[in-house]
Amino acid sequence: MAEFLSLPDAIARYVDDGATVALEGFTHLIPFAAGHEIIRQGKRDLTLIRMTPDLIYDQMIGAGCAKKLIFSWGGNPGVGSLHRLRDAVEKGWPRRIDILEHSHAAMANAFEAGAAGLPLAVLRGYIGSDLPKVNDQIKFIECPFTGERLAAVPSIRPDVSIVHAQKADRHGNVLVEGIVGVQKEAVMAARTSIVTVEEVVDTLDTHPNACVIPGWVINAVARAPGGAKPSYTHGYYPRSNKFYKDWDAIARDREAFTAWLDEHVHGKTHQEA
């Protein structure tokens, strides 16, 4: 059964230096509070996995947490580039990081294969694309039944997956609503998992086919109200499009970024954040 921990305790216990970590949430429910706690605790040499690195990985990469990024679309949605990611890839600041890039289809399949306990995912993908030339984790296999050439990628099995959700009940069962992305797959594919939630309630009070992640496949649940801001939590608060636009100017400049990080991440504790 999931254990209720404070967010700092959950990160300290489950996120080790050098770990492979997936913070998921497809545009929605991005676990910013958890990412900021990872930055505050000074975690290093992480392999970060996320379909859309978004601002959270831009911040973690800029803070020097990552040695490698596995992703499938690395932009600031509706705005432009992730400048901290680009600075790390192009100029090695604050450190050089390796990248491994996929398509969304391949990563979604790889998370699902990880959840299913398989070593690989098979898909009808990457036909005619140059991506297999620059990513040695993309191979092609022949279907043993039809002979069709299909793409294969290794399943994703993070050391720890972290997702944000609307609520947990007192047994640590978690309800995810709205755009559910790959959160359930990320949790079930991982060796350990942390879920941050807006609130803890007596009963989830939901319908029979809702996206519920049972507490027994989760290691830690941590309360983090507002924990997805500036992304959004369906039913709780909207996306701050303004922050996503403002981030462009902050992230373009190393000094502006460092000042932002000092004030808004290092300068706060989890409770204040």
Binding residues vs other proteins (CB under 8 A)? 26-28, 51-52, 71-75, 77-78, 81, 86, 89-90, 101-105, 108-109, 111-112, 123-131, 134, 148, 178-182, 184-185, 211, 232, 234, 238-242, 244
Closest CB to other proteins among residues 130, 272: 130
Q: How far is the CB of 175 from other proteins (least distance, A)?
A: 14
Q: CB 36 → other proteins: shortest distance, Å?
A: 21
C-beta closer to other proteins: residue 5 or 138: 138
Min CB(4)–other proteins separation in Å:
26
Nearest to 100 by CA among 61, 124, 67: 67
d(CA 149, CA 209): 36
Rank residues 4 and 111 by Cβ distance to other proteins and give the closer one.
Answer: 111
Closer CB to other proteins, 15 or 251, in the complex:
251
Q: Walk across the sheet containing 139-142 and list its strands.
A: 120-123, 149-154, 139-142
SS (H, E, C) 160-228: EEEEEEEEEECCCCEEECCCCCCHHHHHHHCCEEEEEEEEEECCCCCCCCCEEECHHHCCEEEECCCCC
How many beta carbons lie within 10 A of that of residue 25, not counting itself?
29
CA distance 56 to 66: 12
Structure tokens at 247: 């981030």
Instruction: State the minimum distance, in angstroms, from the CB of residue 79 to other proteins.
Output: 8
Helix (H) / strand (E) containing 38: helix 32-40
- Minimum distance of other proteins from residue 41's CB (angstroms): 28
Q: How far is the CB of 211 from other proteins (least distance, A)?
A: 8
- Work out how close the CB of 183 gets to other proteins at its nearest, in angstroms, rounded to a whole number: 8
Q: Which is nearer to other proteins, 7 or 113 (CB)?
A: 113
Give residues with Cβ within 8 angstroms of 213, minimum separation 6: 165, 173, 174, 176, 183, 184, 187, 188, 195
* Residue closer to other proteins, measured from CB, 43 or 167: 167
Q: Which is nearer to other proteins, 40 or 193 (by Cβ)?
A: 193
